[in-house]
Amino acid sequence: MTIRYFLTILFLLQAITNGMAQNHSAVLTGTVYQEDGTPLPGIIIKLEGTQMGTVTDENGLFLLKGIPPGKQTVSCSAMGYTAQNKEVTIHAHTKTSLTFYLKENGQQLNEVIVFGKSEATLLRESAKAVTVVDTKEAKLQTADLGEVLSTVSGVNVRRSGGLGSSNRFSLNGLTDDQIRFMLDGIPLDIMGYSSGIANVPVNLVERVEIYKGVVPVDLGADALGGAVNLVSNTSIDDSKGAVSYQIGSFGTHRLSLEGQSNTNTKGMYVRGSGYYDYAKNNYLVDVEVVGGGGKLYDATLPRFHDSYKSYGLRGTVGWVDQAWADEFSLELFANRTYRDIQNNNVMSIVYGEVTSQNANEGALLRYRQELEGININFAAGYTFDQVTFVDTSRYIYTWYGDVVRNANGEPRERSPGELGQATDRQIWDHNTYARLGLEYQLGPQHLLRLSSAPTYVSRSGNERWDEENELIDPLNEINTLFTWVNGLEYRLQSTDERLENSLFAKHYFQMVRAEEPTNTLGVTRNMDREAHNSGFGNSMRYHLHPQWMLKASYEWATRLPRPQEIFGNGRLILPNLSLKPERSHNVNLAIHFSNPQGSPGSWEFSLNGFLRGTDQLILLLGNNEVFSYQNVFAARSMGVEANAFWQSANERLQVTANTTVQDFRNRSSKGDFGPYAGDRIPNRPYFFINNSFGYNIPKLLSNEGNLHLFLKNRYVHEFYKGWESVGLKRFKAIIPAQFIQHAGATYQMPFKGIQTSLTAEAHNLTNAEVYDFFGVQKPGRAYYLKLTTTF
C-alpha cells in the first residue's frame, strides 16, 4: 500500500475532526394515521423550503435526519387525503416527534404530489447498476431466499438438493466467490452465514440489493461479477416484533423471530433476532441399485442421510441521537450448522455416515456520525469460524440405507473413509475486519466518497484421525491472508437532477503468508506472496423524460482469491496457495420505462445489456471426490435481460415477467482448455424465463382481511454438463429443459394492531424431475404452511 492512500485517509479524518464542532443537525420522527387510528403507509413527508423528504413505511412511521435547528414547516400529503402542515421548533442534537391524522378527500384523487422517495426507489433511480428486491411479500410466503433471488433477471441460484444443501449463485454468468455477498455492508460469511446466501432466513431481510458487474465504492468490496447486499431491518423508530413458523414436506421446519425495543428517552435501544431450520430432506430420487448377480437396475428411493439443521441468535444494543454519535451499536451473534452428506456430485456413490459441521460466533461494532458536510461510517469486528468434517466409516452403504454385507451375512469392512482416506478434521478461521466510509459534500451537486476495508484471516486446523499416530498433520501450519480494498468516488448531479454521474478508482492489496507440505517428510516450503492491483470505473444515469431513464456503467474490476479458494475448506476442496487475482472488464447499458403517475394501472419495462470480459478466471476443478480452485482461462459473458411489470387500476391483479439470454464462452486458445476455445462454459444455464401472477381479494371475511393468490413459473433451457464441442449430447450429458410451477394463497387479517397471515403453498406442482447441475436430483412436489405474525 503506497503512502498516498494513508495521506488521503489522514486528510479526511482531520477534516472530520475540524468539523465536529459545527454539527448541529437533529432528527425528526413521527407517525401518520387515518382519522380512525389506522397507520397510513406511503404518505409523503416534506420539510418545506428544502429538498428533504421521505415517505411513511408500512406502519405509518417516518424519519428525517440532518435537519437544521430552528423553526421548520413539515407538510404531510397524499393523493386522496387533505394535506396538513405543522410548524415545529427543532433543537440541535435532539429528536423531535410529530403525529398526523389525515382526513380522506375524494376531490383530490386526480392530483399527483410526489416529494419524498423511499430508499429502495432512490437506489433504483441512482446511477448504480442495481436491482432492488423487496422481501415484504416473500416474508409471508414459504420460498427461501435462494428461490426469491432466482426470480430476478440475470440471477441463478442452483442447489445440489433440498434445504441446506450447497448452492451456487450465478449473476450474468459469473458464479460463487466471483460475486461478493454482504449483510448490511459487511461480508456475509464474516457475519456468521457461512452456509451460503440461499440459506439465510428470508424473514430477517428487509430488501436485497443486487449490483450487477459494477460494485459501488461504499461497499468496500472486490468482486468480478457484482455484489449482493442483504439489508436487515435496522429502523429504530418504534418497538416492534415478528414471528414466523413454517412446516412442510420432507420433515421441514423453519422458525424465525425478531424484536426491538426502545428502552428509554435517551436514545437507547435493544434489538434481537433468531432462527431455527431443520429438514430431513428424505425426498425420492431416481438411482441405480445392485440386484442379483451384480446387475444394475433403476429404483426410486428416499434419501436417508441428508438431514440439515441450523440455528442462530443475534443481539444488538445501541444508542442514537447522541452528541458524540448519530448511532453507536454493539452486535453479538452465534450460529451452528449440521449437515449430512448423502452422495457425490453425480449421485453415482452413496454415503451413509459422512457429516459436516460449522460453528461461528462474533462481535460487530458500528459507529455513525453525520457532520456538517461530512459523514462518517465505521464498523469493526471479529468472527471465529470452525468447520468440522468427519469421514471415518468402515462400511459401504447402499441407497436402501443398508450396510453392504459379505456372503456370510456379516457387514463388509474396509479401510475407513467413504470418500477416500479417513479424516476427522477441524479448520479454524480467525477473521478480523474493519470498514471505514467517509463522505464530504463539496457542494449541492458534488459529493466525494472514500472507503477503506481491511480484512485479516488466520487459518489453522487439526487432523484428529490418526490411529497409528504416525502421520504428520498438514493442517497444523498457521496460514494468514490479509486483504485491503480502498476506493475513492466523485459523484456529480445536475441542478435539474436529470443527470447523475459517479467516477471512481479502487486499489486492491493482498498478502498471503503460508507454508505448503512437500514430499520430504517433515519439510515445508514457503508460499508467501503479495499482489497489488488497481481499477477504475464510471456509472451514469440520465432521465431522457420523466418516464424514460438511461443507465450506463463500466468497471475494470479485480477479484482477490478468497480464503477457501487459497486454503481449501477442510473438507472436499484442497488448497492452492498460488492462485492469482481475477480481472474483468464489466459493462452495462440499460433503459427503463414507467408509466405516468395518475394513469390507469401501473406498468414498467426495462432492458439491460451486459458484457463481462474476464481473465485468469478461477474455477473449481476436480473429480467426483476432491476438488481445488485453479486459474484456468479467459472468458467472455454477454447477454440481454428484459423485465416487465403490470398492475391493474384497482391494484388487484399483478403480473411480472423477465427473461435472460447470456452467452458465456471460453476465450483461451492455449493451455489445458485451448481445445475448447469458443465453447460455452459448461454446466451454466444460458436462457431462462420467470413470470408470476398475483390476485388480491380484499375485505374477505372481514373489512380488513385480504386473500392473495399467486402462481410462479420458471423455465430453464437445456444446457451441457461438459464442453459442447466434445459432442457429449450423444451421451445425454445435458441438463434437460425444465419448467417448474409454484402456487399458493396467503390470507392476512390484522387484529388489535397485530398483523397475522397464513400461507399455504405447493412447490413443483407437476412433480417434475429437477436438476440444477451435474447429476444431483432436487426435491419433487412439496407442500408447505407458514404462519407469520407482526406486532
Q: Any idea which of 233-247, 296-310, 463-477, 630-644 has the lowest mean pLDDT? A: 463-477
CA atoms within 13 A on the CB side of 47: 23
pLDDT surpassing 60 at residue 470? no
Enclosing H/E stretch for 146: helix 145-149
Torsion angle (degrees, nearest 10) of CA 118, 119, 121, 127: 150
Cα–Cα distance between 561 and 629 in angstroms, integer?
9
- The pTM score is 0.83
Model pLDDT, residue 626 = 67
**Per-residue pLDDT at 121 exceeds 90:** no
For position 406, what pLDDT does the model report? 83
Mean pLDDT of 496-524: 81
Q: pLDDT band at residue 65, thresholds of 50, 70 and 90?
A: confident
Numbered ranges of CATH 2.40.170.20 in the chain: 121-790
Rounded Cα distance between 487 and 225, Å, is 17
Q: What single DSSP character describes residue 17? A: H
Residue 25 clears pLDDT 70, i.e. is over it: no
Which pLDDT does position 8 carry in this prediction? 47
Q: Are strands 95-102 and 26-34 parallel, antiparallel or unpaired?
A: parallel
Distance CA 659, CA 713 (A): 12
Q: What is the DSSP letter of 656?
A: E
How much is the pLDDT for 572? 66
Do residues 326 and 369 make contact, with C-beta atoms less than 8 angstroms apart?
A: yes
Which residue did the predictor score with more confidence, 305 or 321? 305
User: pLDDT at position 467, please?
Assistant: 55
Topology of domain 121-790, per CATH?
A: Maltoporin; Chain A (2.40.170)
User: Rounded CA gap, 148 and 566, in Å?
Assistant: 31
Cα distance between residue 608 and residue 691, in whole Å = 18
Residue 71 has pLDDT above 90, yes or no: no
**Partners of 319 in beta bridges:** 268, 328
Return the C-alpha cell found at 219: 461497499
Q: How far is CA 695 from CA 141, 603, 676, 692, in A?
A: 14, 16, 48, 10
Residue % of the chain over a pLDDT of 90:
48
pLDDT for 652 beyond 70: yes
Say if residues 612 and 638 touch (Cβ distance below 8 Å): yes
| Amino acid at position 88, single letter | V
In the predicted model, is pLDDT for residue 411 greater than 50?
yes
Q: Give, in order, the Cα–Cα distances in Å from 467 to each of 392, 463, 470, 471.
A: 11, 11, 8, 9
User: At residue 20, does pLDDT exceed 70?
Assistant: no
pLDDT range class, residue 21, cuts 50, 70, 90: very low
Q: Using the predicted structure, report yes or no on whether residue 728 has a pLDDT greater than 60.
A: no
Average pLDDT over every residue of 72-78: 87
CB neighbourhood size of 762 (10 A) = 16
Q: Vertex 646, ends 641 and 650: CA angle to 5°?
A: 165
Give ranges for CATH 2.60.40.1120 in the chain.
3-117
Identify the pLDDT of residue 117. Answer: 60
Evaluate if residue 237 carries a pLDDT over 70. Answer: no
What is the predicted pLDDT for the residue at 648?
93
- Residue-averaged pLDDT of the chain: 86
- 8-12, 81-85, 533-537, 774-778: lowest mean pLDDT where? 8-12
Please, where are the H alpha helices in 543-594? 563-567
Residue 17 has a pLDDT of 39
Q: What is the pLDDT of residue 733?
A: 73
Residue 23 in this model has a pLDDT that exceeds 60: no
Residue 754 grid cell: 397485530
* Structural contact between residues 700 and 710, judged by C-beta atoms closer than 8 angstroms: no
Which residues partner with 487 through β-bridges? 451, 506
> 481 versus 672: which is more confidently predicted?
481
Per-residue confidence band for 112, with pLDDT thresholds at 50, 70 and 90? very low
What average pLDDT does the segment 714-736 reach? 76
Calculate the CA dihedral of residues 295, 300, 305, 310 and round it to 10 degrees: 150
pLDDT at 472: 54
Task: Enumerate residues 6+ apart whose C-beta is below 8 A from 262.
Answer: 236, 238, 239, 268, 269
625/550: higher pLDDT:
550
Domain 3-117 has CATH 2.60.40.1120: yes
pLDDT greater at residue 216 or residue 189: 216
CB 294 within 8 A of CB 176: no
pLDDT surpasses 80 at 209: yes
Contact 666, 682 (CB under 8 A): no
Residue whose entry in the numeric block shows the C-alpha cell 444443501: 165
**pLDDT tens, position by position, 2-18:** 444 444 444 444 444 34
SS3 (DSSP) at 506:
strand
504 CA to centre of own chain:
24
